[in-house]
Amino acid sequence: MRKAYLNSAGRTLTAAVLLLAITGCGRSITSTPGDAPNLEKWVAEVKARPAPPLDPLPVMQQFETFEYAAQALRDPFSNAFTDQGGSGPRPDSTRRKQTLEQFPLDSLDMVGTLGRGPGVVALVMAPDKVTYRVRPGAYMGQNDGRVTSVSEDRIELVELVPDGAGGWLERPATVALEDN
């Protein structure tokens, strides 16, 4: 019996709370006939107010113009040393390039020799895995390397390298027999 009393009391309390909530909401939802003119008046006042001022436009920066007036000076991108006709060794531009000149010198390997004495011929393997015969006077490497002598354990040659001032320098180089 006590449980039934609590159930009915709980139902009554819940109903009272719901009734109060509905009543409170109903009053806020319903409006009196005098509220509409106040709302219209407020909207009219807000529309009549002046708009807030806009931020000023940023000031454009004026740049000074620059006129290039160095046409009479030397072009910094041209090689100033090419016109100098210095003496000394120069690569022969009319000479036909040989097959071993397309490879860097350090990629060429001496793998053996043929013959003895002054008529010795060196065997050089290129990166394309082809073995070439090299005699004194032949050219190899990408720096116009001319073979000066061939011995049983090495090939000696002289390369032409630019000196940075428009001339050329002779630089000795050697390709040694590969130890396997």
Instruction: Report which of 161, 130, 164 is spatially closest to residue 173, judged by C-alpha positions.
Output: 161
pTM flag (> 0.85): no
Is 118 contained in some domain?
A: yes
∠ CA 158-169-109, nearest 5°, is: 30
Is 91 contained in some domain?
A: no
Contacts of residue 166, defined as CB under 8 A and 6 or more positions apart, other chains included, come to: 79, 81, 82, 84, 86
Is 132 contained in some domain?
A: yes
- Is residue 94 pLDDT above 80, yes or no? yes
CATH of the domain at 145: 2.30.30.830
- Domain span at residue 152? 99-176
Residue 41 is classified by DSSP as H
* Tens digit of each residue's pLDDT (9 = 90 or more) over 125-175: 999 999 999 999 999 999 999 999 998 889 999 999 888 877 888 999 999
Is 81 contained in some domain?
A: no
pLDDT band at 81 (very low <50, low <70, confident <90, very high): low
* Domains identified in the chain, total number: 1
Q: What average pLDDT does the structure give for the chain?
A: 82
Instruction: Quote the pLDDT of residue 33.
Output: 58
Is 154 contained in some domain?
A: yes
Instruction: Quote the pLDDT of residue 34.
Output: 62
Is 141 contained in some domain?
A: yes
Is 18 contained in some domain?
A: no
* Tens digit of each residue's pLDDT (9 = 90 or more) over 25-42: 554 545 555 677 889 899
Look up tokens 């071993």; give the residue.
100
Is 93 contained in some domain?
A: no
